[in-house]
Amino acid sequence: MKRKFPGLFLGVAFLTLWSCLTVPPPPPSFHIESLPPSLVAGLSLEERIAFDDAWTSLKQGRGDKAQKMFARLSPQNPASAVGLGYAYFLNNDLSAAEESFKRAIESYPEIPTARIGLAQLYLKTGQNEKALTELREVIKRDPEHPWAKKEYEDLRARITEELSAQAESDLKQGLTEKGKEAYLKVLFYDPESLAANLALAAIYKKENKLSNALVHLKAASTNAPKNKQVLKDYAATLLQAGQAGRSLEAYERLLELDPNNTEVLGRVEDLKNKLGIYELPSQYEAIPAAEAISREHAAALIVVKFKDVMAGATAAPPIIVDIATSWASKFILKATALGILDVYDNHTFLPKKMVTRAEMAEILMRLVNYLKQKGYRFIQQFEPEKIQIADVSPDNYYFQPITQVIAYEIMNLPPQKTFRPEEGLSGQEAVGILDILLALIK
């Protein structure tokens, strides 16, 4: 009598069935996206179908199958090199994958898929800085690339955090050059890093390399325009470097952010006085429209137009008793202190008194002599002795300054040879004459 073993037969059958089943491989652990249509456009229909099958195998994690299929495609098309790169990557042949990705990029630099694969390969091998470089290239061409943008920002944050920590550690150990190098790397990856710019500025200031420090303070103030402490450090360093004009601009920006800061307000006033800069009242803006300029007009025009030349002049002004209510009192004090305009014997200036053409000639020659003392050269275009003026005789008090301003061609003599010494000058004429003189020293 035969014995039956139904359980044994069922087990053998199950094992036989199991051996016939293929367990699908897990999908790739890295990001794979579709290739640009332009890359596969050159393939024939048959090649395109084969390529689609190979790419599907790749996304299913079938690296060996995908590798064989891509290898049969046209090697001249960079799409094949990209596909092989991902197949090698999937099969953990990283050196072959890197070579294939690079070959694709060399043939088609605009291809993002190869750079994304290369970036992921570098991430896997711990070459974060190389990975960031490849991701940056993708973003340059597609700033809103959904995958590359996020990966780039995350990786950049990790790298800069590591470099910043390394820089801080180096500085604590007294390794200034290494710390400096690490912070410069931070700026390479994140040019807007406020912490790195400020740290480098502090290092350079300590080394008395103010021009280097200013580069980083300027970057910091540009990237953080409302940071009052940054702007204050920038303004102070500019002043320390002897750049008073730019320092004033920075302090004025700081004053806009903090208008009640008395310290900054005082610094602004000090710098303005040092530079000879004044707040221009509305009366100054109205000078060009004046029918005849006054002495206060002349003082204001000269001091404002030649403020750069007169910066730093500290001569004591004479006693003047009648300018307290003049809008141009600051300009008058400056012009009279330098001897360009004079004060009458009774200590009056007569700010509202009209300036005649003859008086303007004398004022201009005083200004020319002041400029000569500053090192500026003037060349006479005519010999003063040969200048003949129909309405100004040689015994006229103003004859010499009049002939001199004509010789320098600062003021002109019309064909009628009349100078009209007792007439006034309009605001527009006075502005034009001073602009001629200003042009001669530039």
Sorting pLDDT into bands at 50, 70 and 90, what band is 23? Answer: low
Residues 326 and 384 in one domain: yes
Is the overall model pTM greater than 0.75, yes or no? no
Residues 220 and 237 in one domain: yes
Cα 233 to Cα 198: distance, rounded to the nearest angstrom: 10
Quote the number of domains for the chain: 3
Helix axes 228-240, 194-206, angle to 10 degrees: 30
Residues 341 and 290 in one domain: yes
In a domain, 415, yes or no: yes
**Average of per-residue pLDDT values in the chain:** 88
In a domain, 301, yes or no: yes
Closest CA to 149 of 162, 157, 139: 139
In a domain, 155, yes or no: no
In a domain, 265, yes or no: yes
* Phi, psi of 356, rounded to the nearest 5 degrees: -80, 170
Question: Bigger pLDDT: 14 or 67?
Answer: 67
Say if residue 25's pLDDT is above 70.
no
Report the sign of the C-alpha dihedral through residues 99, 100, 106, 109, in that order. negative
Domain boundary among 275, 295, 313: 275
Residues 268 and 337 in one domain: no
The 10s digit of each residue's pLDDT in 351-395 is 999 999 999 999 999 999 999 999 999 999 989 899 999 999 999
Overall average pLDDT of the 180-185 stretch: 94
Overall average pLDDT of the 201-227 stretch: 94
Residues 288 and 253 in one domain: no
Residues 255 and 308 in one domain: no
Residues 252 and 303 in one domain: no
Cα 145 to Cα 185: distance, rounded to the nearest angstrom: 25
Residues 379 and 238 in one domain: no
Residues 244 and 333 in one domain: no
Residues 268 and 331 in one domain: no
Say if residue 10's pLDDT is above 60.
no
Cα 274 to Cα 281: distance, rounded to the nearest angstrom: 19
Predicted pLDDT at 75: 67
In a domain, 220, yes or no: yes
Residues 119 and 56 in one domain: yes
Q: What is the span of the domain harbouring residue 219?
A: 191-275
In a domain, 33, yes or no: no
Domain boundary among 226, 244, 275: 275
In a domain, 22, yes or no: no
Cα 369 to Cα 378: distance, rounded to the nearest angstrom: 10
Domain boundary among 275, 306, 328: 275
Residues 426 and 295 in one domain: yes
Sorting pLDDT into bands at 50, 70 and 90, what band is 214? Answer: very high
Overall average pLDDT of the 134-146 stretch: 90
Write 263-269 long-range contacts (CB < 8 A, 24+). 264/232, 267/235
DSSP bridge pairs for 354? 294
In a domain, 430, yes or no: yes
Predicted pLDDT at 6: 53
CATH of the domain at 265: 1.25.40.10
Overall average pLDDT of the 52-75 stretch: 83
